[in-house]
Chains A and B, each alone.
Chain A
């Protein structure tokens, strides 16, 4: 099953992103900690796109889809207007270096990499798609009420 959510590129929209991810993941039996990690990872990607790629432009929009296949969760964040950056050349900073330099940013992608099993960004047309994958060992949907 695929769930989708579109939102405008404003910082206020990010709360809605988190609510969508949480509501979707609540359809499955997943621990609260893991759900929060997945919300966080999606939030971090969306925040980067909203703030850095789109400069919080309310006329721009992004789309998230969440799909479940067996024990795997796939998250896609589609950006129609930006080709993104070269993920393969990204060098993750060390936390110690961030502390020494007093830098506020830099931890978002560290969190995404730590939480997700796979992270990739692929160009699509004039835009790009972030693809995040997480395997949940015991991913089962909540039982439906009769």
Chain B
């Protein structure tokens, strides 16, 4: 899996491409650590090319939720395909994280929560 990052419209965007399983979750976790080490408080997770997610990938997200709340960091996930969204729904994670369909909607969600 490839993890890429960019900063755009006052947002730090982490883009995931491929399968997020136990071996690739390390790179994803590192990208979130890199985000936390810089000053931006708006995080978008671009999942438009995310094909599959296992619990290791979900665990990376869940493990940072408390810290995001404590540091007033806004995170929005967007572009989930129906299979990946279903996995979030099985766990009830779709109720705990902000999920949008498009990048535009995700950026609007970040702005509206500012």
Give the interface of A toward B (CB within 8 A): 11-12, 14-15, 18, 32-33, 36-37, 39-40, 43-44, 47, 50-51, 95, 98-100, 102-108, 110-111, 114-115
Contacts and interface: CB of A to CB of B under 8 A. Distances in A.
Interface string B17-55: 001011100000100000000000000000000001011
Given A95-B91, A98-B62, A111-B91, 13 more contacts: A33-B86, A36-B52, A44-B54, A47-B55, A47-B56, A98-B59, A103-B59, A104-B29, A104-B60, A106-B55, A107-B55, A108-B55, A111-B87
B90 to A, nearest CB: 5
Given A18-B52, A32-B82, A99-B96, A105 B19 contact: no
B24 to A, nearest CB: 9
User: Which size bracket describes the interface of B in this complex?
Assistant: 20 to 34
Interface of B: 19, 21-23, 29, 52, 54-56, 58-60, 62-67, 82-83, 86-87, 90-93, 96
A43 B21 contact: yes
Contact of A102 (B19, B52, B66, B92): B66
Contacts of B91: 95, 107, 110-111, 114
A32 B83 contact: yes
A50 B22 CA distance: 10
A18 B24 CA distance: 15
B54 A47 contact: yes
B103 to A, nearest CB: 24
B32 to A, nearest CB: 11
A102 B21 CA distance: 19
Nearest to A43: B54
Contact of A111 (B55, B82, B83): B55
Contact of B19 (A15, A104, A110, A114): A15
B22 A40 contact: no
A14 B22 contact: yes
A48 to B, nearest CB: 9
Contacts of A107: 55, 58-59, 62, 91
A89 B62 CA distance: 25
A105 B25 CA distance: 12
Contacts of A47: 21-22, 54-56
